[in-house]
Amino acid sequence: GGEFLAYVNRGLEQIDKGVAIMKNYAGTSEGGKIDLGCIITVQTDFIPKLLNGYKTAAEGVAFNVREDTSQPLVKDLLSGFYDVVFCARGDDDPSLAYVPVLT
């Protein structure tokens, strides 16, 4: 029983770490950081309004916003550099979900 308890405790610690990370992403913890990439056409008007609304609803969230063209943004998103990007739709990649926000 004691040997099994050690495994259970390590498993619960990993679950707690995962929950804390997800709370950070969702902005429901004591802060958090979201790395966001965008093309310049949405950076001047759309992104500031979007972030202001989000910051009002989720206090303590910080954003790192970087501007680039669509292809490098998608490449960096796939490599884990960004949490979300706003860009033109490119080649369909089954690991990505494209959601239209502007026309």
pLDDT of residue 24: 67
Query: Residue 33 — φ and ψ, nearest 5°?
Result: -135, 135
CA separation for the pair 35, 84 (Å, rounded): 7
Helix (H, G, I), strand (E, B) or coil at 61: strand
Give the model's confidence band at 17: pLDDT under 50 very low, under 70 low, under 90 confident, else very high: confident
Given a contact cutoff of 8 angstroms between Cβ atoms, the answer to whether 36 and 84 are in contact is yes
Tens of pLDDT, residues 34-90: 899 999 988 888 888 888 888 777 667 788 899 999 999 999 999 999 999 999 988
Which one has a higher pLDDT value, 4 or 79?
A: 79
The pTM for the full model equals 0.64
